[in-house]
């Protein structure tokens, strides 16, 4: 089967979060299931720089008013179609906003353009290649499904995956006439959303199947608490909704082969973690000792419960713990973490920014990764933690609930615990979980048993890629 994936990020070319990891890993995982993936991505400078020999395969004189070319080429193993539209994508700053964190005001045009091109490729193919199915990711890719449904590619099956319902791509009603959709696309069954234009919403009503990245999140988004205004729509399409857990790209995340570590190690030789811990302590200016070392690798946002962590730092340090934080996001939180590091010299360290190599070292050197999310569609950092023997301490939401086995008495007794799970996602429960982690850490045999169980758990893509492939095949068959 030939599949066109439409994504606004793809690891290792451009990444702000977990979407990139998934878009980058799925093609390799699906190849074993006879699904050949080509991914359409925006031509950001970092993407163009790493694109090997590329061929122009489609041209637009005016795509939403700007000249654009689709380039076909490879970056490593990734088979890419790159939308080279310099007016939209050749900018300093991030993929969605400027260096100051402000969204680009023409985001609607940039991602409508990406989606439009996805639908054009689905309709007309490219140099004899034609997708049997299109898989669009998040609001930035979701309009592909709408352009397909209301255009010549309407018979091609399409799947939209929700990585995070909090980002919906909502714009004013005034952009609708510029989207190039027929008038009937405006309405509750189309792109109209609470009087404005909703990109994700349009994708969800236009897709043949909706997937999200864990079974629990698939249930949660059917309720008003987690549905973010879309629960009604999602409930109406529940028979088309699938929760498929993300996996770990084990070619990149494997402590036995990871070139970014101070020392490599495996489940049979956990002692190798110590060198990584020392490197981590040195990097963050933390005391060199064996006190429980918590890490955080995260966007610093409300979703991730980072404000709650701020309130728990004194407690964590008071109980003898240490904390290393790597992240970026809300400016007040960034400042607060830096101030906490100042206040607790040697016990708390913070680095603001994005640092892929450091994120690997942290998983290899930390004792526990703290993830107190208020909602978490899947979460990848707990999976990396499991694989690296960095015990996840997580809120019981979404994919966190689906992937970590809490160290209650029964689980510890049976030797199956892989982390600590707490509920609800509030400061009191977080305080309790931190104290419980520190107590458990003191019991070396139990702690190591937990590390080993986590490291042996299989969260590779094997199982989930099979589920995607099965779904894709069913949709293609349904379409003939
Ligand atoms: N400062 C930093 N430096 C280096 N690396 C950093 C970093 N901050 C974060 N990362 C990395 O970015 C990724 C974040 O993964 P998450 O699963 O937390 O995704 P995120 O919430 O972005 O995305 C959404 O999509 C993903 C994918 O489906 C879902 O798992 C998730 O629940 C959902 O919220 C991880 O690879 C992590 O190591």
**pLDDT at residue 100 greater than cutoff 90:** no
In a domain, residue 304? The reply is yes
Q: What is the pLDDT of residue 30?
A: 98
Kindly report the protein residue whose alpha carbon is nearest to atom 3 of ligand 1: 354
| 161 and 295 both lie in a single domain | no
In a domain, residue 253? The reply is no
Residues in the chain: 480
Mutate to test the pocket of ligand 1, among 245, 247, 380 (most ligand atoms within 8 A of CB): 380
In a domain, residue 255? The reply is no
In a domain, residue 150? The reply is yes
The predicted-structure confidence for 427-463, as pLDDT tens digits, reads as follows 999 999 999 999 999 999 999 999 999 999 999 999 9
The predicted-structure confidence for 32-53, as pLDDT tens digits, reads as follows 999 999 999 999 999 999 998 9
Q: What is the pLDDT of residue 101?
A: 81
Q: Is the CB of 380 under 6 A from ligand 1?
A: yes
The predicted-structure confidence for 284-299, as pLDDT tens digits, reads as follows 999 999 999 999 999 9
In a domain, residue 257? The reply is no
| 221 and 274 both lie in a single domain | no
| 239 and 283 both lie in a single domain | no
| 429 and 312 both lie in a single domain | yes
| 234 and 366 both lie in a single domain | no
> Mean pLDDT across the stretch 103-111?
97
Kindly report the protein residue whose alpha carbon is nearest to atom 36 of ligand 1: 18
In a domain, residue 93? The reply is yes
Q: Which domain holds residue 45?
A: 2-247+462-479
The predicted-structure confidence for 228-278, as pLDDT tens digits, reads as follows 999 999 999 999 999 999 999 999 999 999 999 999 999 999 999 999 999
CATH value at residue 449: 3.40.50.2000
Which ligand 1 atom sits nearest the alpha carbon of residue 15? 12
| 17 and 112 both lie in a single domain | yes
Q: What is the pLDDT of residue 52?
A: 85
| 225 and 334 both lie in a single domain | no
In a domain, residue 95? The reply is yes
| 315 and 449 both lie in a single domain | yes
| 325 and 236 both lie in a single domain | no
Question: Does 322 carry a binding-site annotation?
Answer: no
The predicted-structure confidence for 67-78, as pLDDT tens digits, reads as follows 999 999 999 999
In a domain, residue 443? The reply is yes
Q: What is the pLDDT of residue 235?
A: 97
Q: What is the pLDDT of residue 352?
A: 97
| 382 and 367 both lie in a single domain | yes
**pLDDT at residue 99 greater than cutoff 90:** no
| 50 and 191 both lie in a single domain | yes
Mutate to test the pocket of ligand 1, among 10, 220, 379 (most ligand atoms within 8 A of CB): 379
Tell which residue, 35, 38, 99, 98, has the closest CA to residue 70.
38
The predicted-structure confidence for 156-173, as pLDDT tens digits, reads as follows 999 999 999 999 999 999
**Distance of alpha carbon 90 from alpha carbon 280, whole angstroms:** 35
> Mean pLDDT across the stretch 380-390?
98
**pLDDT at residue 176 greater than cutoff 90:** yes
Name the band, by pLDDT with cuts 50, 70 and 90, for residue 480.
confident
Enter the pTM of the model: 0.96
In contact, 405 and 411? CB cutoff 8 Å: yes
> Mean pLDDT across the stretch 380-394?
98
Q: Report the number of distinct structural domains present in the chain.
A: 2
**pLDDT at residue 312 greater than cutoff 90:** yes
Q: Is the CB of 8 under 6 A from ligand 1?
A: no
| 443 and 473 both lie in a single domain | no
């Amino acid at each position: 089967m030939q599949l066109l994936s439409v994504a606004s990020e793809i690891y290792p070319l451009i990444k702000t979060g977990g979407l990139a990891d998934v878009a980058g890993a799925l093609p390799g995982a699906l190849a074993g299931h006879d699904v050949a993936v080509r991914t359409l991505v925006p031509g950001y400078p970092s993407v163009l720089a790493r694109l090997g020999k590329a061929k122009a395969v489609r041209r637009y004189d005016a795509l939403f008013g700007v000249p654009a070319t689709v380039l076909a080429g490879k970056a490593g193993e990734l088979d890419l179609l790159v939308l080279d539209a310099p007016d939209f994508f050749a900018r300093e700053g991030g993929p969605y906003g400027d260096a100051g964190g402000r969204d680009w005001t023409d985001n609607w045009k940039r991602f409508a353009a990406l989606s439009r091109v996805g639908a054009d490729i689905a309709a007309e193919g490219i140099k004899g290649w034609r997708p049997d199915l299109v898989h669009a990711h998040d609001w930035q890719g979701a309009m592909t499904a709408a352009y397909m449904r209301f255009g010549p590619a309407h018979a091609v099956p399409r799947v939209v995956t929700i990585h995070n319902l909090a980002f919906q791509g909502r714009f004013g009603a005034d952009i609708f006439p510029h989207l190039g959709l027929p008038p009937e696309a405006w309405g509750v069954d189309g792109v109209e959303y609470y009087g404005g234009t909703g990109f994700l919403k349009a994708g969800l009503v236009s897709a043949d199947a909706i997937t999200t990245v864990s079974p629990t999140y698939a249930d949660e988004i059917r309720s008003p608490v987690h549905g973010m205004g879309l629960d009604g729509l999602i409930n109406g399409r529940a028979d088309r909704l699938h929760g498929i857990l993300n996996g770990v790209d084990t070619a990149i995340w494997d402590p036995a082969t990871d070139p970014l570590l101070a020392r490599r190690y495996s489940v049979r030789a956990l002692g190798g973690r110590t060198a990584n811990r020392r490197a981590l302590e040195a990097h963050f200016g933390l005391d060199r000792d064996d006190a429980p070392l918590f890490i955080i690798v995260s966007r610093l946002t409300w979703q991730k419960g980072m404000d709650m962590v701020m309130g728990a730092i004194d407690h964590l340090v008071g109980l003898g713990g240490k904390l290393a934080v790597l992240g970026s996001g809300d400016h007040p939180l960034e400042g607060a973490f830096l101030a906490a590091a100042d206040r607790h010299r040697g016990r708390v360290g913070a680095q603001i920014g994005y640092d892929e190599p450091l994120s690997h070292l942290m998983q290899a050197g930390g004792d526990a990764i703290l993830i107190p999310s208020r909602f978490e569609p899947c979460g990848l950092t707990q999976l990396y933690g499991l694989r690296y023997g960095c015990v996840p301490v997580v809120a019981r939401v979404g994919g966190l609930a689906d992937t970590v086995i809490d160290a209650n008495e029964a689980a510890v007794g049976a030797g199956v615990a892989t982390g600590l799970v707490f509920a609800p996602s509030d400061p009191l429960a977080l305080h309790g979980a931190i104290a419980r982690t520190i107590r458990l850490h003191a019991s070396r045999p139990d702690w190591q048993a937990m590390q080993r169980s986590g490291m042996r758990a299989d969260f590779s893509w094997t199982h989930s890629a099979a589920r995607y492939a099965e779904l894709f095949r069913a949709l293609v068959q349904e379409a003939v």
